[in-house]
Amino acid sequence: MTEPIVSTPLRERATKALGDRFLHEALDIATTKFIALRREAFGNFPEGEHLRDRARAIKEATLQRLDTHLETLVANVERLGGHVHFATTAEEARDVIVDIARRTGARMAVKSKSMATEEIHLNEALQAIGVTPVETDLGEYIIQLAHERPSHIIAPAIHKTKGQVAELFSRELKRPGLPADPEVLTKIAREELREKFLQADLGITGANFAVADTGTVVLVTNEGNGRMATSLPRVHVAVMGVEKIIPSMTDLAVFLAILAKSATGQKLSVYTTLVQGPRRPGELEGPDEFHLVLLDNGRIAQLAGTLRESLYCLRCGACLNVCPVYRQIGGHAYGYTYPGPIGILLTAMLNGPRSVKDLSHASSLCGACADACPVRIDIPRMLVELRREVDDKGIAPWTERVVFKTFARVLRSPRLYRWGARIGRTAQRPFVRGGRIRALPFFFGAWTRTRDLPPVAARTFQERWREL
């Protein structure tokens, strides 16, 4: 168990997020833009639908033979002079990286954006041994300065407005009075980060893909920081979930054609960095040492689990952008490393069903996520499966289970169902005014606090039927 166990209930966290005007504005602007860009990108790309099917099929087939592909990858990375480490847990992954940092006498680590390192809480572990981690993706840099965590898989600072970033930079970088101008702010971040790139001993990245056949780690970025982090420091450590492996370069072409379109609506991201082991004799740039950390952390168990399909995830963030719940509450309210619809599944994968007792219900099951997912992961289906697990294992409150089981009894019996209608009609009497119910006590108030409820009809349709 590596994740923060959040103490306030989901509903409270969500309500707090709803009250944040800045968050609302930032989310609305960003997700609306992402949705439009994605739609346009695929609209101009007729082969996109076919490639999505193809990508899904590759993921399916690769996971069928994950062991073989991993063996190939390890052999090829080692052949290229790199080192491969297998970490069963987040703790093991941290230990591996901490050891590398210690052994190489590292003082500073530049990091390219990586959710895997967020998942294992790497920054804290590095700080504990006196290594300063510096996030170099602009969004990550912003939230590191703000001492926050990413609220989106690809746009970690999506919850901040440009005004908030200007204030943050002015205060934290001691450059008072900065304007809310993205160009100015980006230039300042660039200046600050350039120094760090030159000083750092350690470059830490994630991996969007690892190509088994060639031992290549692939990074997709827009700022070029991935390239800097993998070429300037003496040591490069790439951390990736085992499911990110793909068999061949031909497969890579399929994924690259749909990844950026799904994420940001770009045809391709600005940089696609392919890394093969450490610097070879005669090469001018690249690290002396290359390490690949392969992270299990609950993934391998799901090869045969209900969440298997979530191992297809490319971490593009498209499901977050289209999710009506995410668009209202943002990523932090989810309470764990991975937010949004896919994040609920990953939270369950990393932390077990207890962690999603409430979170599994943070979805109207509208299906927009499955529709947007480049590899068509059936997220709503798995959310329902998680809810089932939460019920079956007795994690759901017993009161809820009694309510639903009683409800089921009523639905199996037309007599009880008719009584139900009759009881409803009697019980609602004090609350009906002008044909509407504006306030109800107890549990029902959850509806009526913000919405009217129609009263149960004086005669149900089935009662009227004979006269029709």
Residue (181 or 463) nearer to other proteins, CB: 463
6 makes contact with other proteins (CB under 8 A):
no
Instruction: Compute the least distance from the CB of residue 408 to other proteins, in Å.
Output: 3
SS3 290: strand
Q: Is residue 432 involved in binding other proteins (CB under 8 A)?
A: no
Report the residue number, 296 or 358, with the smaller CB distance to other proteins.
358
The CB-of-360 to other proteins minimum distance in angstroms stands at 8
Q: Largest alpha-carbon pair distance within the chain?
A: 92
Look-up of token digits 């923060």: 4
CA distances from 413 to 99, 371, 410 (A): 65, 37, 5
Give the count of residues interacting with other proteins (CB under 8 A).
66
Burial (Cβ within 10 Å: 0-12, 13-18, ≥19) of residue 339: buried
CB of 159 to other proteins, least distance (A): 16
Q: Is residue 328 helix, strand or coil?
A: helix
| Tokens linked to 14 | 């969500």
Q: Closer to other proteins by CB, 148 or 391: give it.
A: 391
Assess contact for 204 and 110: CB atoms under 8 A.
yes
Q: Of 102 and 438, which has the nearer Cβ to other proteins?
A: 438
Residue from the set 310, 361, 377, 379 that interacts with other proteins by CB under 8 A? 361
- How many Å apart are CA 312 and CA 255, to the nearest integer? 11
Which residue lies nearer to other proteins by CB, 70 or 384?
384
Yes or no: say if 149 and 3 are a contact pair by the CB < 8 Å rule. no
Q: Which part of the chain contacts other proteins (CB under 8 A), choosing from 150-158, 205-213, 302-310, 327-335?
A: 327-335
Does the protein bind other proteins through residue 305 (CB under 8 A)? no
Give the C-alpha separation, 111 to 104, whole Å: 17
Q: Which is nearer to other proteins, 84 or 421 (CB)?
A: 421
Q: Show the 3-state SS of 381-435.
A: HHHHHHHHHHHHCCCCCHHHHHHHHHHHHHHHCHHHHHHHHHHHHHHHHHHEECC
Instruction: Report 363-422 residues binding other proteins (CB under 8 A).
Output: 363-368, 370-371, 384-392, 396, 404-405, 407-408, 410-414, 417, 421
Compare residues 147 and 451 and give the one whose CB is closer to other proteins.
Answer: 451
Interaction between residue 146 and other proteins (CB under 8 A): no
Residue 31 Cβ vs other proteins, minimum distance, rounded to whole Å? 11
433 part of the interface to other proteins, by CB under 8 A: no
Residue 95 CB, nearest distance to other proteins (Å)? 37
Q: How far apart are CA 39 and CA 20, in angstroms?
A: 28
| Minimum distance from residue 411 beta carbon to other proteins (Å) | 4
Which span sits near other proteins by CB under 8 A: 86-94, 106-114, 222-230, 356-364? 356-364
DSSP letter (8 states) at residue 453: B
Rule CB under 8 A: is residue 182 a binding residue for other proteins? no
* Residue 10 within binding range of other proteins, rule CB under 8 A: yes
> By CB under 8 A, is residue 354 in contact with other proteins?
no
To other proteins, the closest distance from the beta carbon of 87 in angstroms equals 32
Interface with other proteins includes 457 (CB under 8 A)? Answer: yes
Structure tokens at 460: 């149900």
For 27, counting Cβ atoms within 10 Å of its Cβ (0-12 exposed, 13-18 middle, 19+ buried), the class is: buried
Examine residue 220 and tell whether it contacts other proteins (CB under 8 A): no
- Residue with the two structure tokens 């997709």: 220
Q: Which of 424, 428, 431, 432 binds other proteins (CB under 8 A)?
A: 424
- Side-chain-side CA neighbours of residue 432 (13 Å): 12
- Contacts to other proteins from residues 11-50, by CB under 8 A: 11, 14-15, 18
Confirm or reject binding of residue 325 to other proteins (CB under 8 A): yes
HSE-CB of 186 using CA atoms within 13 angstroms: 9
- Binder among 211, 362, 375, 382 for other proteins (CB under 8 A): 362
Decide: 211 and 62 in contact? Cβ < 8 Å: no
Task: Select from 66-74, 207-215, 221-229, 435-443 the region that touches other proteins (CB under 8 A).
Answer: 435-443
β-sheet bridge partners, residue 293: 85, 239
Contact partners, residue 316, CB within 8 Å, separation at least 6: 153, 154, 259, 262, 263, 374
Cβ of residue 456: shortest distance to other proteins, in angstroms? 5
Closer residue to other proteins (CB): 194 or 354: 354
Min. distance of Cβ 430 from other proteins in angstroms? 18
Alpha-carbon span 28 to 390, nearest angstrom: 32
Distance in angstroms (rounded) separating the CA atoms of residues 48 and 374: 9
Pick out residues in 222-241 that bind other proteins (CB under 8 A): none
Which residues are at the interface with other proteins (CB under 8 A)?
10-11, 14-15, 18, 324-325, 327-329, 358, 360-368, 370-371, 384-392, 396, 404-405, 407-408, 410-414, 417, 421, 424, 436, 438, 443-444, 446-447, 449-457, 459-462, 464-465, 468
